[in-house]
Amino acid sequence: MMLHSASIKIASLRGLLLALLAASLLAACGTSAPIKRQSTGSILYEPQPISEKGNEIALYAMGMIDTGYQFGGKNPEAGLDCSGMVSYIYRQALNMNVSGSAADIARLGKEIDPRTLRPGDLVFFNTMNRPFSHVGVYIGDGRFIHAPSSKGKVRIARMDNVYFAPRFEMARTYFD
């Protein structure tokens, strides 16, 4: 009985933490300060109108944090790879079919200026010496959620991360 009670408390805390994270991300998207490129070459983001669909995607993506990685994985129970995670999130959150490899997904949607990224948009990287070999879900404030093979769990990374910044290729939107 104590173990069950502890599980409920942990689940409640995780839910609370996800809610706080979501609130802080959504609040960060409403800033109105002018945005410029930093001297390091990283992108700073211009405030954009909120997309309800995009926010649904971003919130659903946050629920995938700590899900295990599995090459070719298409559901959280078996594990997810980057494109499987994106496909699963879009299907579950909006009943929207965004499927295939990261390169296949990169051919869909509308290309956007990276400075205009909004939560729920997709970001693409060249991580395997081939174009569009990795994809993640942008969640705001220069951060994205992805399913990397290294360290084996879905997690948040920054767009200006020393690994990802030079490998960034494109941003796509599927909304509005």
Q: Could you give the residue numbers annotated as active site?
A: 82, 134, 146
Spatial contact of 65 and 22, defined as CB atoms under 8 Å apart: no
User: Would you tell me how many other CB atoms lie within 10 Å of the CB of residue 40?
Assistant: 8
CA distance 28 to 62: 16
CB of 76 closer than 8 Å to CB of 64? yes
Tokens 């941003």 appear where?
A: 171
In 3-state terms, the chain is what percent helix, strand and coil (to 5)? Answer: 35, 20, 45
> Are 28 and 44 contacting, i.e. CB atoms less than 8 angstroms apart?
no
Q: Assess contact for 105 and 146: CB atoms under 8 A.
A: no
